[in-house]
Structure formats: structure tokens, C-alpha cells
Structure 1
Amino acid sequence: MNKHSKYILSMAAAVILATGCTKKFQDYNTNPYGATNEDLLPDYGLVVAQLQEAQKSIYVYQPAWVTQLQQNLMADVYSGYMMPPTPFRGNSNNMNYDLVDGWNVWALNPAYSSSVGSVMNPISNVEATTKTTAPALYAMAKIIKVEAMHRVSDIFGPIMYSKYKMRADDGGYDYDSQQEAYNNFFKDLNEAIAILTPLRAEKPLPTFKNADLVYDGSYAKWLQFANTLRLRLALRIVKADAAKAKTEGEAALANAGGILSAASDNFNINIGATEHPLNTINNAWADIRMGAPMESILTGYNDPRLPKYFVPAVDAAVAGQYKGIRNGINIDAKSRYQGYSALITFPSKIQLMTAAEAWFLKAEAALRGWTGAGTAKENYESGVTTSFSQHSLSGAATYLTDATSKAAEYIDPKAITPGQNNVTKDKPWLSTITIKWEEGDAFERKLERIITQKWISMYPDGQEAWSEFRRTGYPKLFPVVINNSGGKVSTDVFIRRVNIPPDEYLTNPQGAKRAAATLNGPDNGGTRLWWDKQ
């Protein structure tokens, strides 16, 4: 383990106590800019800063140790995309379901208030100052808030959202249940979409352009993103509230602004000259490598995107191969798996939604018979083609005719217990789905095909991939070999969420208890979220 990795592990608790959400819930409700509405109105300079801060806090990219805790040692692994070669905490950690509260609190801290940024603090101030005076900025704030906070809710479940800054009678701060949060996400997106729809052909205000770290001030692009986000969240709740899901999804598809369609439409946060945090975690620290499901599916499909995502292994036992590490295995030392496939070097942008995803969302909407979705086959094939285009690849048409390739068996030649980590054809979690669209297939097989290709296309955003795996069960992933949850998380059912950090119970005991009471079971990693239905 490198010096920096040791530092983040030894100092996490101290940092959290000093700067994280353990600074009491009162800190969540303090305007960090110290500005009144009157201070903000003359030129909206602080509004620009606040909107940029919120965009940068969706996926914190600096310092890289925050990214490592916010997402990489959690969702990036649970999605099947990646796995660390490092046996953190004596190899008892998130990877084998011994959830580390000192790590996972950093999935919550940036949402509210921390030394590295915030979403809700600046956004609430922008909402208060722009609703009537600068509605386009107000709409941007709403969209950013939903994009950031649905990711937090999809980790924990209940979140402080509509009740943010509001004290309960007992002095605590209350959460929305996840169902309430999602209802409010749709409400906020609807409001933003109504504002931006008539503006989509207009030249943006300079302040809007200055605040925008994604689309250079394009109202039309922000509208497309909002519609696509609405469609994403509609499908997210399809098993929990099918009627609302259909209503919201069809509204997104019917809007005149449309949804994302070309690779140039991708929602990527521009981080300027800052190094992508995954480059630091992967290259400088050697703390992350390819996940075994990525190897199995991409090599089995002979997928041209494979070298766009990973580099061949350098370990003598597998040199020149694309070799991933299975989640939740016995690791005695970092040196055992450090030579497996590393990640490619990422450009200075944070990918949070792709146009390929939008096509796959439409494909599923069509599969479910939603009005305005077109045909599942055409949308599915457009999703694959758009993903190839994103990575400057040709050959999508040929790839889409492959009716025989399936996920490959996974063999780990360096397993401490020989054969322990192998996944062969007799294992139920090895997928048999092929690439070519088959109109005669049953609903579930069509859905598995759509979600498997969506999973490939969304890389490296493990948060969204993990959410979709929990919602659909696809793509088929490999269960952990070692389960250190003490019976809280089922090996076969996989981890479903992360518990509310204990510090929340210390600083806001009544609010945290009420939040936990909205769950469908105990506050642990085995309890399904509201939208996560069997």
C-alpha cells in the first residue's frame, strides 16, 4: 500500500470529525458564502460560484482520496467495473461487505457541507435568489440538485431534500423517505423543464454560460439532459410505482426539447487542468484495477471498447491478457494482483450521463410499451452505435450481428485457494446473453440484453451501474467469495445499500431514527431501497 493510501485510511476518522457532516446538522444550514440576497443580485457573481461548486460536488474530483471514498471503494466495485488489489484494513472492508463507516460517510458529506465542497448549501441559496429574477439559473440549480441528490439517495435511501434547513419540533432535521425524495425529484425536474422549454432556441445569459461547466451555456442541452434524467429516474421506480414511472417517462419523451442523442451531448463536468481522480487512484497509488465481470463480458464479446477502458495485465502469470480481479476475495498482499489490468488514463472530464445511456433508456421504455419511445430494437442498436462513436470506434454494425458470443468463463490463476475464484459455465451467475437483438426473445431476456449493453456504455460511472444492477439484476455479476457482513448482507442477493453513517445518529438522533424508520428493514447493507423490488 502506498503512503497516500495509508494516510487516507489512518486519517479518515479525524478528517470526518473535523470537516465532514459530523460538524452538526446546523452546519448543513449555514450559508458558506455569508451573502444576503441583496449581495447576490447586482451581477450574480456569487451565484456563478455557487452553481459551479454544486456541479463540482456531484462527484468530487479533488482531492482524489475523497473520490476514492465517495464512490471508488463502494459503487465502482459493487457495479462490477473495478476491484482494488489492496487488502485495506486487513482485507476486511467494503469489498467483502464489512462496511467502513469512516469511508462511506464521504458519500454523504459533499451533498451537504464539507471542506471539499457542497451541493445543497449553494443550491438552496441560488434557488432563493433566482426564482423570479433569473429563472434559467433557477432551472439549472434544480437540475443539478436532482442529479446530485438522486445519487446520494440511491446509496442510502432517505435524504434531507425538501425539508432541508427545516427543524422538526424536537429540534432535529428531518429526511425525505426515498419515495418522497423521488416525488420531489420529479417535481423539481418538471419545474426546470417548464422554464427551459421555451428558452431552448434563445441565446443564454452570460451568467448562465459562466456557471455552466458542461454545455457552454446551452439552454437546449440542459433541457435535453433534464428530460433524459427524468426518463432515467422514471425507469428507476418502475417496480415501485409503475403508474408514476410511465407518466413521468412519457412526459420526458414527449417534451419538445428531446433527450440526449449524440456522443457530443454527454453530460461531462469539465474539470479543466485538474487530473481525473481515477488516474491518481489507478496510476499513482495502484489502488484500483479491472473487475472480473468486465473481463468476462468484454473479452467474451470480443468487444472493441475493451482497450478503450483497460490496459493488458503485466503480471507474469497473465501478461498481455485483459485480467480482472473478482470482488470480495482473499487478498494477502497488494503485490498479488497489482499487475492485473489497470484502467486507461482518463481525460479531464467527469462523465455522469451519456447519450448511449439515453438510447438504452428509450429501448427499455419501448419494451415496456411507453408512448413516444419508438422501437426497442432501433433504440438498442442506436445505443451501441452511439457508445462506439463516443470512443471513436467503427464496426458497430458488425458487432450488432453477433448472435453467438457470450460472457467468457473467469479463471483466476493467482487465487490463494486454487479454483476458489473461478467462474465457469456451471455457475448460475455467468450470463448467457448474446449481442444481436432477438425480437422473439422473452421480456426478461430482452431487458438483460439492453441493461448489459447499457452497463458497458456507462463505464466508468459505477454509481449508476450499481443502481441499475440492483433495479434489474443485470448484467449478471459474480457474488463475493468472502462475506464479512456478519449475516447482514446475503452473498447471493448482493449488497443493496449503505447504512446511514453512525455520526448522523450522534448529531441528529431523532431525525436519523425517523429516517431509518422509512426503510423496508434494518439500517444495514442488506435492506432493499424503496425502488429496489424483487
Structure 2
Amino acid sequence: MRILKIGLFMLAAGFSACTKMDNTNPNVPSTVNPGVILPQVIYNTSNTLVGNAFELNNELIQYTCMNNTFTEVQRFKLLPSNSNGLWAMYSRMRDLNDIIAMGDKTTDMANYKAIAIIVQTYIYAVLTDTYGDIPFSEAGLGTTGNIYMPKYDKQEDIYVKMLENLRTAADMLKGASPLLYGGDPVYNGNLVRWQKFANSLRLRLLMRSSGKLSTAVSDIKTLLSDPQQYPVMESNDDNFVYRYSGSLPDASPLSLNYVRDFDFKYKSVSAFIVDSLKKLNDSRLFQYARPTNASAGTANPQYVGLPNALPVTESANYNGGYNFQSYLGTRFQSNTEPAIWMGFSELLFLKAEAAQKGYFNGQPKELYEAAIRASFAYWGAPFTESYLSQPGVFYDGSLSKIYLQKFYALFFSGMEAWNEYRRTGYPVLVPGPTNINDGKVPNRIPYPLSEQSLNRTNYNDAAKRMGNDNMNHKMWWQP
């Protein structure tokens, strides 16, 4: 698989004239406004989420599998090399710190500061939920603080601070003035929607840490009991998704501009999800997968998933070979397929779980069913109410139903399905015959090799806390 990394190079106008001889290049801006920086950060982060969903999450959680060769990922082995894409998100921190610093200098930039804090917290959450302990309090301070070898903070401490930051940022946006320089590619300057995203993300992190953080349950109750004070997502219009324009270079990193069709088709949709959705007559299947080549365009298109981690020869010849296996849906090769950060459906599943656990007075069945409808609507999949009455779907008060439907809904949502599996234990996955981890889905990715050479002392301290950098070492929030 070949994903080419691209970048946008954007310059701001408004240079001041040189009145004396110095070493300043008059053709390069000395400062860049946040309306220029923010879209670049969101764009690059979105590329990372899509790429790592494709390469890591989807194989770990058995959404997809390779059909022509082994990957260590689907065999449940994670290596430092698997860190390269995700750890690179640290390169976004300096830009976000710059926006925050601008907000500290002038009230006109306070709204950008709040947005930068939200985006930064999202990135930190992805990183800490992938590795455990990570650089946090000293990250991104090479230029401003001369800290080039940041310490690794403990995950519990990071969670406390992330939750505090999200609450602060959402409060800062109440009644905030419009964005002076634009630069909001997701909500187009709608600051109420940014508040909703901040509070929804906060609920995600609170639910994840609710078994470990002593204040989490009371904070969930407070957040969900006062929607006026703490608005959360209310429809798919509030989804945080980055919509690529489709014009190069602003195109999905999985599109045909960057990934050859031949390479893309190395990924078959797994038998687990194809068989599960077929059993429920779930029309999302036709978005997630495509008919087999042999049946496409016929009166009876067939959808056949590939079991994960088969021996190479068995994988290549399964069900008669590649032409008789279902590849990923064609939508994922589109220039404009959005990058999903967080959606309304996930928010509703979180609320349904919280209600079922007694954290607030919502109706879990109503929320669960609304979450399913929202997922079908997002994917453009036809839905009928009879879907909800099937024995495999009908809500009977069990959390397992919520977790399983949430798994279906989180398709291609960054690393979130893996996060939820580690938290809930659902769905129950059957390891492939070539798995090399005693059938256990790994709990973390080892730190990148670059940290061992460039930040060795701090790496060593963190690695010891993470079971000697062991991929099976549990996250702090795991049961």
C-alpha cells in the first residue's frame, strides 16, 4: 500500500516594508494569522486519521484484512514502525501552541485559542489512547521553551488535564465574537458547533475514564443534565468531519490520486463484519463493501468477506480467489470521502450507555435507536423501522447491544473502534489462525524508534511504566 504524504503551503499577505538593512527576507511573512494555520492542522490531522484507520484500526478490529499477503497488524502484532503516522501528529503541536499564544495576546484571537485547545486535546487523546504515557506538558515547546527532550506524562494526569481543557475551551466560546480571519474548514465559523464538539469529545473521554477517574461519573451527570450550559451534538449536521474539496491537493489520502487501485484492492472487507451485517439485512454493508468482481453488475450481487489472518495461500484462494471476495466500498477511493473525527451517532451511543448505567435520566432504548438511525443516515444507507425489532438488534437493556451497534457505526472513524474494543471488550473477535499474540488484540503500539535515539532518557522511563514498551500493556483506563 502506498500513501503519498502531501502538504499545503499557504502564505499570508500583509508584510511590513523594510526600512533598514537586516537579514529579514521581505518575501517571507514574519507572522501568520490563525486563519491560515488552523485549516492546515485540521487537514493534516484528518489525513493521519484516514491513513491509520486504513492501515491499523481496520485490521486490528477486523473491519478489513489483507487478501494477498500477511500484515503483522491483522496477526495482532504491533511494532515501533506502526507508530510513524500517528506519532507525526506531534508536528502539529507547535502550530497549535502558536495559535494559543496569539489568543493570549489579544481578545480578538480568544476564539481561535479555544478552537486550538479543542483540536490539540483531540490529538493528545488519539496519542495517549494509542501509547499510554506520552509527552504532554512539555510537548511542542522546542522553540518557545527550548525543551527538545520532553518528559512523558502519566496517562491519568493527561486525562485530568484534557478534560479540564475541553471544559475551559467550551466556556470560552460562549458568546464569542466571529472568527476574524475565517479558516474553519469544518463548521465554517459556527462557534456553537465547536462548543458541541468540545462537550461531546469530553463525554467520550469521561465515559472512557469512568471506571478509573473518581470524578468522571459526577462530571457526566453534570454535563448531561444541563444541555443549555453544556450543549452536545444534536444531529448529523454537528458531526466533526473534514470534507475534502476533491481538488488537489485537498483530496482524501485514499483516493486514486494517491493510492493505486491495484494496491487499494489488497484490502478485503472482513468476514466478521460482512457476515454480521448480512445476517441483520443491514444496508450499511453496501456502503462499507462492494460486490465481488464476479457478481458486480449482475442481478444477484454477492458480498463475501475474507476471514482475518488466514495463511497467505488460503487468503488468496478463499472462496475461489480475489474475484470472489468483497473489497472496500468504492466511496473510500473517492477524492471527497470525509475524514471522521467524531459523529452524532457516537454521541448518542455514549448517552445511551450513560443512561443505561444510571449516569443521567435519559431513555437508553430511545437513545440507542436514535443512534442507529443517525448512523444509517450518515452513511446514506436505506433504513426501515423493522430493523430495530430484529432479535439481534432489539434493545433489551444489555450494554452488549449498544457496544455492538456502536462498532458497526464507527467504521473508518480513525482509531476509535480499537479504543472502544479495549474499553468494553466488544465485539467478541475470533482471532485468525496465524495470529501471534495468543489470540489477544494488542492494547497499545510501541513507541517509535526515533524516541529511543532522540529522547532516550525520557523514553526509558516511560517504557518501564508501559511494561517495557509492551504492546499488551493495558491503558490506564482499561478494566
Alignment TM-score, normalising by the size of structure 1: 0.75
Cα deviation code 1:480-512 (max 9, x no counterpart): 32133xxxx331x32111111222111110111
Of residues 446, 450, 457, the one that matches 1:503 is: 450
Equivalent residues in 2 for 1:367-406 (5 A)?
367-371=356-360, 373-403=361-391
Of residues 244, 255, 263, the one that matches 2:236 is: 263
Q: Does 1:465 align with 2:441?
A: no
Task: Measure the CA separation in 2 of the matches of 1:205 and 1:172.
Answer: 35
Amino acid at match of 2:130: I
Of residues 230, 244, 247, the one that matches 2:215 is: 244
* Percent of residue pairs bearing the same amino acid type: 25
Aligned position for 2:167: 190
Runs of 5+ in structure 1 lacking a partner? Answer: 13-33, 114-118, 404-433, 440-445
Aligned position for 2:139: 164
Task: Measure the CA separation in 1 of the matches of 2:146 and 2:98.
Answer: 24
Task: Measure the CA separation in 1 of the matches of 2:179 and 2:78.
Answer: 46
Q: 8 Å contact 1:330–1:482 — kept in the other structure?
A: yes
How far did 1:67 drift?
A: 5.2
Distance 1:504 1:315, change over 3 A: farther
Aligned position for 2:346: 357
How far did 1:282 drift?
A: 8.0
How many residues in Structure 1 have an aligned counterpart in Structure 2?
Answer: 437
SS at match of 2:339: strand
Task: Measure the CA separation in 2 of the matches of 1:176 and 1:238.
Answer: 20
Equivalent residues in 2 for 1:12-27 (5 A)?
none
Q: Does 1:366 align with 2:355?
A: yes
Q: Does 1:456 align with 2:456?
A: no
Task: Measure the CA separation in 2 of the matches of 1:183 and 1:378.
Answer: 31
Amino acid at match of 1:77: E
Aligned position for 1:232: 204
How far did 1:392 drift?
A: 3.6
Q: 8 Å contact 1:295–1:323 — kept in the other structure?
A: yes
Runs of 5+ in structure 2 lacking a partner? Answer: 6-24
How far did 1:59 drift?
A: 3.0
Aligned position for 1:212: 184
Task: Measure the CA separation in 2 of the matches of 1:139 and 1:170.
Answer: 24
Aligned position for 1:173: 150
Equivalent residues in 2 for 1:261-410 (5 A)?
261-273=234-246, 274-280=250-256, 281=259, 283-285=261-263, 286-314=265-293, 320-332=301-313, 335-336=316-317, 338-339=322-323, 340-344=325-329, 345-346=331-332, 347-371=336-360, 373-403=361-391
Of residues 444, 466, 482, the one that matches 2:434 is: 482
In the TM superposition, structure 1's runs of 4+ consecutive aligned residues that sit over 4 Å from their partners are 165-171
Aligned position for 1:408: none
Aligned position for 1:124: 97
Q: 8 Å contact 2:186–2:241 — kept in the other structure?
A: yes
Amino acid at match of 1:233: L
Task: Measure the CA separation in 1 of the matches of 2:131 and 2:171.
Answer: 30
SS at match of 1:320: coil
How far did 1:368 drift?
A: 1.4
How far did 1:276 drift?
A: 2.3
Task: Measure the CA separation in 1 of the matches of 2:291 and 2:210.
Answer: 39
Of residues 222, 225, 233, the one that matches 2:194 is: 222
Distance 1:248 1:514, change over 3 A: farther
SS at match of 1:341: coil
Cα deviation code 1:63-112 (max 9, x no counterpart): xxx954x342211211221112241xxx3522213434334322211x12
Aligned position for 1:435: 393
SS at match of 1:147: helix
SS at match of 1:59: helix
How far did 1:378 drift?
A: 1.1
Q: 8 Å contact 1:146–1:188 — kept in the other structure?
A: yes
Aligned position for 1:419: none
Task: Measure the CA separation in 2 of the matches of 1:380 and 1:229.
Answer: 18
Aligned position for 1:27: none
Task: Measure the CA separation in 1 of the matches of 2:278 and 2:345.
Answer: 21
Q: 8 Å contact 1:71–1:107 — kept in the other structure?
A: no
How far did 1:363 drift?
A: 0.2
SS at match of 1:80: coil
Q: 8 Å contact 1:272–1:348 — kept in the other structure?
A: no
Cα deviation code 1:369-425 (max 9, x no counterpart): 113x5111111011112122223444342111112xxxxxxxxxxxxxxxxxxxxxx
Amino acid at match of 1:478: V
Distance 1:156 1:86, change over 3 A: farther
Q: 8 Å contact 1:362–1:379 — kept in the other structure?
A: yes
Of residues 105, 127, 147, the one that matches 2:122 is: 147
Distance 1:282 1:351, change over 3 A: farther
Distance 1:121 1:146, change over 3 A: same
Aligned position for 1:50: 37
Q: 8 Å contact 1:384–1:396 — kept in the other structure?
A: no
SS at match of 1:352: strand
Task: Measure the CA separation in 2 of the matches of 1:334 and 1:474.
Answer: 25
Task: Measure the CA separation in 1 of the matches of 2:457 and 2:187.
Answer: 41
Task: Measure the CA separation in 1 of the matches of 2:357 and 2:129.
Answer: 23
Q: Does 1:104 align with 2:83?
A: yes
Task: Measure the CA separation in 2 of the matches of 1:217 and 1:264.
Answer: 14
Which structure carries more relative contact order (alpha carbon 8 Å, separation 6+)?
2
